[in-house]
Amino acid sequence: MMLKDRVLLITNVDKFAGHGTTRVALAEGATVLAHDPSFEAPSARRRYEAEFPGAHALSAIEPATLVELALKRHGHIDALVNNDAYPALRAPLGEARLEDYRAALEAMAVTPFRLVQLVAPSMRKRKSGRIVFVSSAAPLRGIANYAPYVSARAAGNGLVSSLAKELGRDGVTVNAVGSNYVENPDYFPPALLANQEAMAKMTAQIPLGRLGTSDELGATVCFLCSDAAGFITGHVLPHAGGWA
């Protein structure tokens, strides 16, 4: 198993790539430390751990508290998966609100950067670590009327090349998965999936002619967390069926 005995910290695990990454990581032998804001409620933690036996739900929300709790519980973190789910709000230039833009940057660039700051010291000390941003392929092509979302994702993607160069000498790799057109309720709600006309128009833009699955995305994330990706760093890997 490619992640046997590895400890993965996955953020916002109830969103975006969280479930797929958890399923694949557990199947590959990893210990999964799962963060989600909903886990402040004990019932949400119990529900998650029942759905994914072997995973550990962490209730901390503040990045510093989350990393402190993870390190206290397991002693080290082998891989940080910044699973930054955030709404892709339609915002034509003349209508876009600066407060929405700032919130997007906070969620998709500032908070993940802070988590890397907190996790990196222990990885550097151990001379080993994986950092993976679950991001978007949108900055690779651009999408009209979504400039705040796309540019916030671009900021996250931009962290990858600089952090990879900064942390590489200490054995820490930094990569991103540039996702698009992957099934998940955050970006493809059930009503949209049930709309055959809309889905036909959408999938016509994808060379592979279909949406990706959550487990396919999770497998890509887990690959970048594994030894098999030990010589890959500073890379934004498109995961979009050929769209990017």
Q: Are 81 and 9 in contact (CB under 8 A)?
A: yes
Give the Cβ contact number of residue 141 at 10 Å. Answer: 13
DSSP secondary structure string for all residues of 37-71: GGGGSHHHHHHHHHHSTT-EEE---SHHHHHHHHH
Q: Are 123 and 79 in contact (CB under 8 A)?
A: no
CA distance 147 to 213: 26
SS3 151: helix
| 90 vs 186, higher pLDDT | 90
**Position 45 confidence tier, pLDDT thresholds 50, 70, 90:** very high
**Position 60 confidence tier, pLDDT thresholds 50, 70, 90:** confident
**CA-CA distances (angstroms) from residue 98 to 91, 95, 237?**
10, 10, 29
Is 42's pLDDT higher than 90? Answer: yes
* Token pair 């090349």: residue: 161
pLDDT at position 141: 93
β-bridge pairing 56-58 and 31-35: parallel
Q: Residue 185 burial (CB < 10 Å; 0-12/13-18/19+)?
A: middle
**Position 166 confidence tier, pLDDT thresholds 50, 70, 90:** very high
Mean pLDDT confidence for 45-60: 93
In the DSSP assignment, the letter for residue 212 is B
* Token pair 């005995």: residue: 5
SS3 93: coil
**Position 123 confidence tier, pLDDT thresholds 50, 70, 90:** very high
pLDDT in tens, 176-185: 999 999 998 8
Q: What amino acid is encoded at 41 in this protein?
A: A
Question: Which residues belong to the active site?
Answer: 149
CA distance 109 to 152: 7
pLDDT in tens, 17-33: 999 999 999 999 999 99
pTM listed for this prediction? 0.94
Is 61's pLDDT higher than 90? Answer: no
CA distance 215 to 217: 5
